């Protein structure tokens, strides 16, 4: 009877593992048919757009409620409604930027558009102002593009905009910090052993062995399963005796890793390089 129970538990875990593998394969299959964004799909993160729009409001007196964003997934800017007194403040597809500017110019629709910095001047089919900031913007599709702006609102042909650059830079830095996911580090209990752990013991010369009747294969811990996570490559639950040995093996591995780092021979600096370092320190004192 005991043997049948163990067999059933093993079969249940195997079925769960198969389900997870099938789900992963299905997700990969579905992913192939999702529309892929091109370099034209550089949609602007909201915090960066807000920084630009606020600068436009202050610089040119355009009310926020008059600003339009006709460039959105699946949209057609030529079919949009442009009420009297509106101004387009948006990021059009870069590949048709010149065409977009010409279309707005012919219809006397005011615009303030994002543009790739390296090719800004090529959009020259009509009279407009090139605002050169080369602001680093990471767009929603992950593309990092040095960005300028082209507008019909400014009386100049070419100009810089230090305050616009400062605001976009600050907004981008805040946005990236907010988006950056802190990778959670996990520590497994001594009663769990992974292949990578035993690999490490071999590297540091630690003899570690587990009997067949002291371990059971698991695809994930219960707490991981609740979060939809797996043990990558699987793992084993081990007996209390084996867990004590694993704890000792971990301590020994940590000590030998520390000794290895301490024994590493450092590259020395030459007198010439040390002098450079001292000079660099003097420059810091002068700036302070």
Question: Whole-angstrom Cα distance, residue 42 to residue 73?
Answer: 10
Q: pLDDT at position 4, please? A: 46
Q: What is the pTM of this model?
A: 0.54
pLDDT digit string, tens, across residues 145-177: 999 999 999 999 999 999 999 999 999 999 988
177: exposed, middle or buried (Cβ count in 10 Å: 0-12, 13-18, 19+): exposed
pLDDT in tens, 4-27: 444 454 555 555 555 555 555 545
Mean pLDDT lowest for which of 23-27, 93-97, 130-134? 23-27
Q: What is the mean pLDDT of residues 38-61?
A: 88
| Residue 73 in this model has a pLDDT that exceeds 90 | no
- Residue 284, pLDDT above cutoff 60: no
State yes or no: pLDDT of 234 exceeds 70: yes
Q: Assess contact for 120 and 150: CB atoms under 8 A.
A: yes
Q: What does the pLDDT read at residue 56?
A: 98
Contact 236, 209 (CB under 8 A): no
Residue 255 has which token pair? Answer: 């000590």
CB neighbours (10 Å) of residue 151? 23
The residues with which 80 forms a beta bridge, in sequence order, are none
Strands (E), 120-198: 129-138, 144-151, 158-160, 192-193
Per the rule left: phi > 0, alpha: psi between -120 and 50, beta: everything else, 193 is beta
Q: Is the pLDDT of residue 76 over 50?
A: yes
Grouping H, G, I as helix, E, B as strand and the rest as coil, residue 139 is: coil
């Amino acid at each position: 009877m005991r043997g049948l129970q163990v067999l059933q538990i093993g079969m249940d875990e195997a079925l769960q593992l198969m389900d997870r593998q099938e789900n992963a394969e299905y997700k990969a299959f579905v992913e192939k048919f999702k529309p892929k964004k091109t370099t034209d799909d550089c949609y602007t993160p909201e915090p960066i757009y807000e920084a630009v729009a606020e600068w436009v409001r202050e610089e040119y007196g355009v009310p926020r409620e008059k600003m339009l964003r006709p460039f959105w997934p699946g949209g057609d800017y030529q079919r949009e409604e442009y009420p009297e007194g509106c101004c387009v403040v948006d990021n059009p597809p870069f590949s048709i930027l010149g065409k977009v500017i010409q279309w707005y110019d012919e219809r006397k629709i005011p615009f303030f558009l994002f543009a790739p910095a390296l090719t800004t001047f090529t959009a020259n089919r009509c009279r407009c102002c090139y605002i050169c900031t080369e602001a680093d913007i990471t767009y929603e599709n992950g593309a990092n593009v040095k960005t300028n702006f082209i507008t019909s609102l400014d009386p100049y042909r070419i100009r810089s905009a230090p305050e616009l650059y400062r605001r976009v830079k600050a907004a981008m830095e805040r946005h990236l910090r907010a988006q950056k996911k802190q990778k959670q580090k996990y520590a497994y209990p001594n009663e769990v052993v992974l292949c990578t752990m035993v690999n490490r013991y071999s590297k540091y010369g630690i003899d570690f062995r587990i009997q067949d009747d002291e371990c059971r294969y698991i695809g994930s811990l219960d707490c991981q399963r609740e979060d939809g996570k797996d043990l990558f490559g699987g793992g084993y639950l081990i007996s209390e005796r084996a867990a004590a040995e694993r704890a000792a093996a971990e301590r020994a591995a940590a000590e030998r890793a520390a000794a290895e780092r301490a024994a590493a021979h450092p590259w020395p600096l030459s007198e010439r390089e040390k002098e450079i370092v001292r000079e660099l320190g003097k420059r810091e004192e002068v700036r302070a």
